[in-house]
Amino acid sequence: MASPPLVEDQARLLEDALTVVRQQTVLMRRCLDTPGKLMDALKCSSTLVSELRTSSLGPKQYYELYMSVFDALRHLAVYLRDSHPTNHLADLYELVQYAGNIVPRLYLMITVGTVYMGIEDAPVKEIMKDMMEMSRGVQHPIRGLFLRYYLSGQARDYLPTGQGQGPEGNLQDSVNFVLTNFVEMNKLWVRLQHQGHSREREQRTKERQELQLLVGSNLVRLSQLVDLEAYKSSILQPLLEQVVQCRDVLAQEYLLEVITQVFPDEFHLHTLDQFLSATARLNPHVNVKAIVIGLMDRLSAYAARESESDSPEDREKAETEATARLLEKMKIAQESASAPASDEAPHQNGDSKPADDTPAEAAPDSTAEEATKTDSVDTNGDAKKQRGIPDNVRLFEVFHEQVIHLVSMQRLPIQDITALLVSLINLALNIYPDRLEYVDQVFQYANKEVSRFANSADLHSQASQANLLNLLLAPVKTYFSLFTALAIPSFIPLLHAQPYPTRRSVAGEVARSLLRNETRISTSENLQGVLEILKVLIKEGMQQPSGYPGGPVRRAAAETDETVEEQGWLARIVHLIRGEDCNTQFKLLQLARNAYAEGNERIKYTTPALITASLKLARRFKAREHLQDD
């Protein structure tokens, strides 16, 4: 294929072609308005469509020309539909196939043929087969793509959807028609990449990106035709095979994204394994991470929409129960780990055998499997659903395994790993908010990867730090109670592994969340968890005194406006400490005082609040002095 002319030349060629199209359109309309001049109108139509034979226009210019031709042919189609049976469509369908050049011949054939398909008792099946076979005659990538796009658009409203076996066609014929058109368009689209000079490769890639919507439109048509069973049994596999076999990076990335977006969420839930297994066979240069993230985000959003009807009271109750279950599991795990360790005989080298070599993730997974086996079917034999997700679809486990597989097989950088984990934790939080062990698994894996990349500059890149911040903030922003997030065992260790700016941002969000929701802190465990996060605000980030060694020290402007505001948050949090009784309140205030004392000079901001809270407590003690001592 010869290189297209310069942009200026293309503009001139386009204007010349549009002039011809406008002139012939006027003549065609006059002929259609004059009785007995249909043949002349068809000649004008053939002439204006002949402008689409050009090879000198880029995709944008060709599209502009195509739309001008399309408007003219649409007027012709309306006339043919209104004038039937005066001008019998079966005869016209045969007649237009005698046009001299293949491009006008096929456009006119499709125009008449699709109108003919809408007529009662038309041989729809034969017409569809005819048009599909004849369209193979145009193999030029751009011309072929626009021709097949026209075929797809014109036939859309007339595709049969019945189940009959007669000449009127059925739903399976329509599916095969759209599927075949998609395969042929994809071949033309990929072929465009390999034509012309190698130095124009980037230009061709840009042109292909401009044309990708034409190919994707077939998948939109397909999604409107099929149900879940048809998608599972006869649609997805041919689609994935075509995507895998084309071996083109741009095509594989775009088509998998379109498949993810155009088919309903319900379809993806029941074909996850099939879809994800295809990603393992893609071109090694394909950005599989983006595809997996897109699918996870799509299903997370679906679950979030399904849960909008949940009341805050139900959410709070579920979180409380989930926290209790997780703490109970941790207690049992610790007891079972310590018991064998004390009973086992030491090895020859004097060391005892580890009590349990199973990864921490194994226990939650086995629990999940048991729960799935026992609870996945309701009394009617239908799969139970949680936030729209059937219980027998192990969504988190599938994506968790996929993420680990991707990281190990493709050697992803830490930026991509953390991006995957953000989507994975959002999926866990949106679909399984009561399964805190899932969130803990994500944090454990993140901590492991952060340790692995500890000496890498990529870990401190803006993208990595933004992802890690979003990862840590996800449970803080999602859970109804902040203390649910604090109960996750791996949350604090992962937080401590982060640099100062990330820890400060998390602490700031925690402080604002406590104050915004007026969250009551009534136990020492909850207070210690909060103070563990807030200690970055208490004692870190202080500016060093200005001056040179041995010289006079200037302490002015030791605190910025931001840090002073943060100290104000810490002071206000003191008033959220409300123990169940006076003794508990006294212990809680002692904990807060000891923690705030590490701020050195910053205690001037927090001490007044502690004194006020202490005076309130003293008055409570005074009011109880006549009662029996606690």
Higher pLDDT, 452 or 353: 452
When pLDDT is averaged across residues 445-471 and rounded to a whole number, the result is 95
| CA proximity to 16, closest of 59, 64, 60 | 64
Q: Which of 12-26, 271-285, 354-368, 498-512 has the lowest mean pLDDT?
A: 354-368
Task: Say if residue 309 is exposed, middle or buried (CB neighbours under 10 Å; 0-12, 13-18, 19+).
Answer: exposed
Q: Are 80 and 87 within 8 A, CB to CB?
A: yes
Decide if 383 contacts 394 (C-beta within 8 A).
Answer: no
**Which of 225, 287, 215, 205 is closest to 255 using CA atoms?**
215
Residue 517 has pLDDT above 90, yes or no: no
Give the pLDDT confidence of 231-251 residue by residue, as tens digits: 999 999 999 999 999 999 999
What CA–CA distance (Å, rounded) separates 471 from 156? 44
- Give residue 320's pLDDT: 72
Q: Which residue type, as a one-letter code, is found at position 520? A: R
pLDDT at 233: 92
Residue 591 amino acid letter: L
Whether the pLDDT of residue 88 is over 60: the answer is yes
pLDDT, residue 374, reads 38
**Higher local confidence (pLDDT), 370 or 4:** 4
| pLDDT average, residue stretch 361-365 | 41
pLDDT at residue number 539: 84
Question: Residue range 574-597: average pLDDT?
Answer: 91
Token reading at 63: 């599209």
Better-predicted residue by pLDDT, 373 or 260: 260
Confidence of residue 361 (pLDDT cuts 50, 70, 90): very low
Question: Which residues does 117 contact at the CB level (< 8 Å), separation at least 6?
Answer: 124, 127, 128, 155, 158
186 vs 191: CA distance, rounded Å? 8
Query: Taking 50 as the threshold, does the pLDDT of residue 76 lie above it?
Result: yes
Dist. CA 449–CA 453, nearest whole Å: 6
Contact call for residues 256 and 291 (beta carbons, < 8 A): yes
pLDDT in tens, 2-39: 556 667 788 999 999 999 999 999 999 999 999 989 99
CA distance 359 to 354: 12
Q: Name residue 345's beta-bridge partners.
A: none
Which pair of structure tokens corresponds to residue 21? 């199209």
More confident site: 281 or 329: 281
Query: Which pLDDT band, with edges at 50, 70 and 90, does 227 fall under?
Result: very high
By three-state DSSP, how is residue 305 classified?
Answer: helix
CB atoms within 10 A of CB 223: 18
> What pLDDT score was predicted for residue 375?
44
Residue 434 pLDDT level (bands cut at 50, 70, 90): confident
**How far is it, in rounded angstroms, from Cα 416 to Cα 423?**
11
Average pLDDT value over all residues in the chain:
86
How far apart are alpha carbons 167 and 151 in whole angstroms? 20
- Nearest CA-CA partner of 255 in 182, 155, 150: 182
The stretch 331-348 carries a mean pLDDT of 56
- Cβ neighbours of 147 (radius 10 Å): 24
pLDDT exceeds 60 at position 342: no
Q: What is the pLDDT of residue 4?
A: 60
Using an 8 Å Cβ cutoff, are 170 and 163 in contact?
yes
d(CA 450, CA 495) in angstroms, rounded, equals 11
Q: What is the pLDDT of residue 347?
A: 47
Query: Shortest CA distance to 565 belongs to which of 508, 505, 495, 506?
Result: 508
Is the confidence at residue 350, as pLDDT, over 50? no
Residue at token pair 């070599």: 357
Percent pLDDT > 70 in the chain is 84
Whether residue 380 is predicted with pLDDT greater than 70 in this model: the reply is: no
